[in-house]
Amino acid sequence: MNLKRSIYFFSMILFVFFLSSSCVVSKKKYEELETKKKNLDKKVRKLKKENKGKDKEISNLNSSINNIREEYNDIKNLLSESNAQKSSEIDKLSSEISNMDEKLVEAIKNYKKEKSQLEKEKKSQSLLAEELKTKEQKIIKLEKMINENKEKVNFLKDAISEALMAFDSSHLHVHQKNGKVYISLDEQLLFKFGSSKVGKKGKKALKKLSTVLEKNENIDITIEGHTDNVGDVNANWDLSVARATSIVKILQKNSSIEPKRFKMNFISY
């Protein structure tokens, strides 16, 4: 626009100048000036035309700039909204991740606690199983020992019963109780009244009994000397001791039974 004004102002000056000087210049000079004026007018028109094209180009450029600016603002707004949305989504995801982390930490903590408890229970169960296994083995061993002992006791009872079969059953009794074999020999079979000396039948019975006891080396032997309650207590006590001692001597004399296998009990009524 400034260029257009300058050209117009310049044309006016020339025009005034030519008018004011027409009376002093020659025709040739006038023609030259006229030619220059035409050329200048031509240039002015050309410049105006170019200027008009430039104005249109500038207008188009301004329009393009405005369009670009609008697009830029639209994109900027969209990006801002998108960023805000993304930021909100990120915050939400961060919050969810944080919650999940807390839950995961708690889950790991509970898992470790439960695992520790299970390991303790497993260890306890293992120890209990070992203890039960040990007890079962002991029970099996004891049952085996009991059964073996029963077999031995039954065998011993049968052997003793067979060995003493020839004697009057009214004076002799063999029975089993609490894993032991009891042989009850009547006083009439062994001793005379008030005596500690064993008679012939008694010696014969004890000799047969010693043979059976000798073969069963793992059996301990307890001899009980009994007396009645007739007469002096001290005398009866001494008699029970003497009778038990007599039986032990006869059993040892007629066998190779070790003395340590014998035990004596003395009973006076």
> By residue range, what is the domain housing residue 122?
80-150
Q: At what angle do helices 233-253 and 200-215 cross, to 10 degrees?
A: 60
Q: The tokens of 266 are what?
A: 């003395």
Any domain includes 140: yes
Residues 194 and 249 in one domain: yes
- Band (pLDDT 50/70/90 cuts) for residue 213 is confident
- Band (pLDDT 50/70/90 cuts) for residue 175 is low
Any domain includes 58: no
Give the pLDDT of residue 269: 52
Any domain includes 135: yes
DSSP 258: -
Give the pLDDT of residue 11: 47
As a whole number, mean pLDDT of residues 231-259 equals: 78
Least confident of 33-42, 61-70, 110-119, 149-158: 149-158
Any domain includes 66: no
Q: Pick the more confident residue, 22 or 126.
A: 126
As a whole number, mean pLDDT of residues 30-48 equals: 80
Cα 60 from Cα 14, distance rounded (Å): 35
Give the pLDDT of residue 250: 86
Structure confidence by residue, pLDDT tens digits, 89-125: 878 888 888 888 888 888 888 888 888 888 887 787 7
Residue 21 has pLDDT above 60, yes or no: no
Any domain includes 114: yes
CA distances from 12 to 15, 22, 70, 189, 222 (A): 5, 15, 44, 183, 167
- Band (pLDDT 50/70/90 cuts) for residue 52 is confident
- Band (pLDDT 50/70/90 cuts) for residue 39 is confident
Residues 109 and 146 in one domain: yes
Cα 153 from Cα 173, distance rounded (Å): 15
pTM over 0.85: no
Give the pLDDT of residue 259: 79
Residue 265 · residue 224 · CB < 8 Å: yes
Long-range contacts for 229-235 (Cβ within 8 Å, ≥24 apart)? Answer: 229/268, 229/269, 231/194, 233/268
Structure confidence by residue, pLDDT tens digits, 140-168: 988 888 888 777 777 777 777 776 665 65
> Which domain-ending residue is among 150, 177, 209?
150
Residues 109 and 142 in one domain: yes
Residues 177 and 260 in one domain: yes
As a whole number, mean pLDDT of residues 185-208 equals: 77
Give the pLDDT of residue 7: 45
Residue 82 has pLDDT above 50, yes or no: yes
- Band (pLDDT 50/70/90 cuts) for residue 16 is very low
Give the pLDDT of residue 23: 46
- Band (pLDDT 50/70/90 cuts) for residue 188 is low
Give the pLDDT of residue 267: 58
Any domain includes 56: no
CA distances from 104 to 101, 116, 126 (A): 5, 18, 31
Q: How many domains does the chain have?
A: 2
Residues 144 and 191 in one domain: no
Any domain includes 246: yes
Residues 134 and 194 in one domain: no
Residues 168 and 260 in one domain: yes
The CA-based angle 80-85-86, given to 5 degrees, is 95
